[in-house]
Structure 1
Amino acid sequence: MSEDEFDAAVSAALTRVPDELARLLTNVVVVVEEEYEPQHWEDPDTELFGLYEGVPLGERAEVPWQMPDRIVVFRGPLMRHCRDRAELEEQITVTVLHEVGHFFGISEERLHELGWG
């Protein structure tokens, strides 16, 4: 899958967010990066497919200006993990919706229980 096709798959995954929730996705940027660089406390052998960086919606304080939250989708790990295009497109969707779940304050454990992780 080309980079443009991958970006389009991420955009398509975002359209799966229900409209009433999508309207709440304000001050959030979704980006694709090639690889994830583990932090010093993390297992360097773990490959992340996505990452949410920010303050979950329910924990935010109203401030006049703040940096946008970020949802990052990592192309390299996803491309290596998936065997074919259909699996890749499905895993991109799962990854995007998983990270959107974190934006709404849903824990890692609960996302796994719901089948989104």
Structure 2
Amino acid sequence: MITMSRARFAALVEDALDAIPAEFASRLGNVVIQIEEENPDEPETLGLYVGVALTERLSDYSFATPDTITIYRRPILQLCATEEEVADEVAITVVHEIGHFFGIDDDRLHDLGWA
């Protein structure tokens, strides 16, 4: 497990978000990205999307609370040995969870290399 400050980890999450192409990033207006230490129910989980995917929204979808993407710091740090590995895993996790927002399932994300 690598040791990393919360601020540095947050900067890596920001870097991953900055790397998202503008045409996709512009659609994330009602999505909250947050960092937590770990998921209390599933401590090995690296990230979690909670919300209604764009592909599942009906015409009456409005005035909804923001969807959330949570990136879990501790399991990512436990998985990695270097800062470069953390940066890569954060990027993969961010893209993976954003993929769920766009309606892409785990199998397809795996096929695309984002799992």
Q: Same fold (TM over 0.5)?
A: yes
Of 79, 82, 87 in structure 2, the residue corresponding to residue 81 of structure 1 is 79
Partner of 1:17: 20
Of 89, 105, 113 in structure 1, the residue corresponding to residue 111 of structure 2 is 113
1:79-103 alpha-carbon deviations (Å, 9 max, x no partner) = 1110111001100000000000000
Task: Give the Cα–Cα distance (whole angstroms) in 1 for the partners of residues 62 and 109 of structure 2.
Answer: 31
Per-residue deviation, 1:26: 1.9
Structure 1: 4+ residue segments shifted above 2 A: 61-64
Q: Flag structure 1 segments of 5+ consecutive residues without an equivalent.
A: 39-43
Task: Give the Cα–Cα distance (whole angstroms) in 2 for the partners of residues 26 and 104 of structure 1.
Answer: 13
Task: Give the Cα–Cα distance (whole angstroms) in 1 for the partners of residues 38 and 24 of structure 2.
Answer: 28
Aligned-partner SS, 1:6: helix
Per-residue deviation, 1:25: 0.9
Partner of 2:56: 59
Per-residue deviation, 1:75: 0.3
Aligned-partner SS, 1:116: coil
**Amino acid across the alignment from 1:115:** G
Per-residue deviation, 1:63: 3.8
1:35-90 alpha-carbon deviations (Å, 9 max, x no partner) = 1122xxxxx5x611000000001212344411100000000000111011100110
Of 96, 99, 102 in structure 2, the residue corresponding to residue 101 of structure 1 is 99
Aligned-partner SS, 1:20: helix
Q: Return the TM-score normalized by structure 2.
A: 0.91
The aligned length equals: 111
Per-residue deviation, 1:24: 0.9
Please tell me the root mean square deviation across aligned C-alpha atoms, in Å: 1.2
Partner of 1:49: 46
